[in-house]
Amino acid sequence: MKKDISGLEQTIEVTFENKDLLRQALVHRSYLNEHRDFPLEHNERLEFLGDAVLELIVTEHLYKNYPNPEGELTNWRASLVNSQMLAMIAEQMSIEPYLYLSRGEAKEENSKARNSILANSVEAIIGAIYLDTGYDTAATFIHRVIISKLPFILKNKLYMDAKSRLQETAQEKVGVTPSYKVMEESGPDHQKTFVVAVQLQDEQIALGTGTSKQEAQMNAAELALKAKGWLAQD
């Protein structure tokens, strides 16, 4: 059954000539496993196209507006087009109710898996906009929804990873470099879980978890930024 997407068109401020292109951008592969007679394909090809369009338009904007070295521009671009940013944008636009998901995916509470689906849907929507209404409309959408986040990202150095931000902020505010210590390691070799503490001198600020030491350190750093009130607010 095809969903009414008029509300989404209003949100993204794009009216499609081919409504099914926008619907296809919302079809997760899992949905077709349960609805084999559904007339549309899944969104992975549109996502492939949208990823390229997004990267080109963001790159063009950075190249034309900032004389910074390539390495800096690469980091800034990554902060705009990464899955965490795109998933946040999908949530802001309330895309999830329009998605075609299997019953299992609809109930999935794994935030990493859900964020991936949301991020991919934004790229697929960009691909659909590009095919339906052309480059200029896709560029307008990307500038309004994604590139508009850049000043906030630059002001708060969000192009840096959590560990780097914590280190720079801690050194700036309290003159201390954070240290990390593995507190716990569990599970079989192929599926380990690590618990890492981050400390400022002798004070433990946060505990992070992850499937690798690096992932656990990143998680601990992010939680430490929150605990110290050092996370930027948009």
pLDDT tens-digit map of 143-161? 999 999 999 999 888 888 8
Question: Does one domain contain both 137 and 103?
Answer: yes
Active site residue: 51, 105, 132, 222, which one? 51
Residues 143 and 192 in one domain: no
Note if 234 is an active site residue.
Answer: no
- Do 41 and 151 lie in one domain? The reply is yes
Indicate the residue among 102, 123, 155 that finishes a domain.
155
> Residue 206, SS3?
strand
Do 192 and 149 belong to one domain?
no
- Tokens at 52, concatenated: 């390229």
Burial 211-230 (b: 16+ CB within 10 A, else e): eeeeebbbbbbbbbbeebeb
Q: Of 120, 135, 155, at which residue does a domain stop?
A: 155
Output the six-digit token pair for 155: 């002001």
Low-confidence stretches of the chain (pLDDT < 70) are 109-110, 232-234
CATH number of the domain that 216 lies in? 3.30.160.20
H-state helical runs in 66-174: 70-81, 83-92, 103-107, 111-133, 135-145, 150-155, 162-173
123 is in an annotated binding site: yes
Helix/strand/coil for 185: strand
- Whether 125 and 197 map to the same domain: the answer is no
Domain C-terminal end among 130, 155, 180: 155
The CATH number that applies at residue 79 is 1.10.1520.10
Was 96 annotated as part of a binding site? no
Is residue 171 domain-shared with residue 118, that is, in the same domain? no
Same-domain check for residues 62 and 116: yes
Q: Is residue 26 helix, strand or coil?
A: coil
For residue 6, the SS3 value is helix
Q: What is the pLDDT of residue 128?
A: 98
Which residues constitute the domain of residue 71?
A: 6-155
pLDDT digits (tens, 9 = 90+) for 157-192: 888 888 988 998 999 999 999 999 999 999 988 889
Domain-located, residue 234: no
Catalytic residue flag (residue 60) = no
| Residues 136, 26 within the same domain | yes
Are 183 and 130 within one domain? Answer: no
Residue 23 maps to a domain:
yes
Q: Long-range contact list for 95-100, CB < 8 A, 24+ apart?
A: 95/8, 95/26, 95/121, 95/122, 95/125, 98/3, 98/5, 98/7, 98/8, 98/26, 99/26, 99/28, 100/3, 100/23, 100/26, 100/27, 100/28, 100/31, 100/35, 100/38
Structural domains of the chain, count: 2
Beta partners for residue 27, in sequence order: 100
State residue 75's pLDDT score: 92
50 close to 33: Cβ distance less than 8 angstroms: no
Answer yes or no: is 109 a known binding residue.
Answer: no
In a domain, 136, yes or no: yes
The pLDDT score that the predictor gives to residue 191 is 87
Do the domain assignments include residue 233? no
| Set 60, 72, 123, 215: catalytic member | 123
Note the pTM of the prediction, 2 decimals: 0.79
